[in-house]
Amino acid sequence: MDGKLRVDSLLDAQLQFRPMNTVSLEKQRAEKQPMTKQAGAGADIRLEFRNVTRRFQAGRKAEGVTAIEGVSLTVRDGEVVSLIGPSGCGKSTLLNLTAGLDRPTVGEVFVDGQPVTGPNAHVAFMLQKDLLLPWRTIRENVEFGLEIRKVPAAERKSTALAMLKACHLEGFPDHYPHQLSGGMRQRAALARTMATDPTVVLMDEPFSALDAQTKMILQKDLAQTLSAMRKTCLFITHDLAEAVALSDRVLVMSHRPGKIIEEIVIDIPGRDNPLVRRESPMMTGYLHRLGELLDLAHAKV
């Protein structure tokens, strides 16, 4: 899909979100159950794909494209799951289906046990492009989703300031996006994504445009924020080390039509500190295995 088109449709989608009740975020968080990783299928599943295929029809002469085929997956409460696969294998399609911006041709997608039928307040996303509105200050940008949900002004402001603090931007609420560096803008985008306290956070290569050092700092910030807020996250990346450093599990997709060909549980301790995880002696083994699965040695560009 054309990048600009998708960004516009994501912004439109935010405007269509159903208002959420305005129970304070702290209360909502306190009510969430502790993570039960060992639990079987059931109540703690936040996101589920059941045998999902998405086929795009083409024009009269061109052939259609099957982006993903027969994808089944679950993401449990508080889990961070990365999705990796060759370019064009349907990763973004999978994200769009979760966000309710697109519908499966076959199969169903569920968030918190409810079928996804359109954009909704329970799913938030963060992309490589920060989607910050240039005419709004950073705080006003973070408040955007809360405004749509009709959260009162005072609560909006305090939530936005708390999220900016959590994302290490407490000194910049009144700056405009163009006054910040790329890394700071992605932090602001993260604060905005988290401000609405979504059930599932979707990330589509959020750090791929950043330099290596900024990227590592942001990975650490993200990992800590996800742990502190106990968020469930589906993270798309083409950076294998990023996938291993940030995730509880990595799902590997095949070439188009994308299918899930392997699930790798990441057993390195300390998911909230990817910098430490990167230093683990186990890291190389995971990278080697993922490289093999993606057949990097034989891949053509």
Among 28, 36, 56, 118, binds ligand ADP (CB under 6 A): 56
CA 68 – CA 70 distance, rounded (Å) = 7
Restricting to residues 242-281, name those near ligand ADP by CB under 6 A: 256
Torsion of CA 218, 239, 273, 36, to 10 degrees: 110
- Scanning 34-42, 88-96, 163-171, 174-182 for contacts with ligand ADP by CB under 6 A, the matching segment is 88-96
CA 182 – CA 51 distance, rounded (Å) = 38
Tell me the backbone φ, ψ of residue 4, rounded to 5 degrees: -65, -45
Q: Which does 65 bind (CB under 5 to 8 A by kind): Mg ion, ligand ADP, none?
A: ligand ADP
- The CB-of-128 to Mg ion minimum distance in angstroms stands at 9
Using CB under 6 A as the binding rule, whether residue 89 contacts ligand ADP is answered as yes
CA 215 – CA 206 distance, rounded (Å) = 9
Beta strands of the chain (E only): which ranges?
Answer: 45-56, 65-76, 80-84, 106-111, 114-115, 123-127, 200-204, 232-236, 249-253, 260-265
CA 163 – CA 126 distance, rounded (Å) = 15
User: Residue 128 or residue 193: which is nearer to ligand ADP going by CB?
Assistant: 128
- The CB-of-82 to ligand ADP minimum distance in angstroms stands at 13
Among 14, 82, 92, 237, binds ligand ADP (CB under 6 A): 92
Torsion of CA 89, 75, 43, 229, to 10 degrees: -140
Using CB under 6 A as the binding rule, whether residue 237 contacts ligand ADP is answered as no
CA 82 – CA 204 distance, rounded (Å) = 10
CB-CB neighbours of 239 under 10 Å: 17
Using CB under 6 A as the binding rule, whether residue 21 contacts ligand ADP is answered as no
Q: Please name every residue paired with 202 in a beta bridge, in sequence order, or none if there are none.
A: 125, 234
Among 21, 38, 87, 213, binds ligand ADP (CB under 6 A): 87
Amino acid at 286: Y
- The CB-of-183 to ligand ADP minimum distance in angstroms stands at 23
Among 65, 162, 217, 276, binds ligand ADP (CB under 6 A): 65
- The CB-of-87 to Mg ion minimum distance in angstroms stands at 7
Using CB under 5 A as the binding rule, whether residue 92 contacts Mg ion is answered as yes
Using CB under 6 A as the binding rule, whether residue 93 contacts ligand ADP is answered as yes
Per-residue binding string, Mg ion, 153-192, x by CB under 5 A, is: ----------------------------------------
Using CB under 6 A as the binding rule, whether residue 203 contacts ligand ADP is answered as no
Q: List residues near ligand ADP by CB under 6 A.
A: 1, 56, 65, 67, 85, 87-93, 256
Q: List residues near Mg ion by CB under 5 A.
A: 91-92
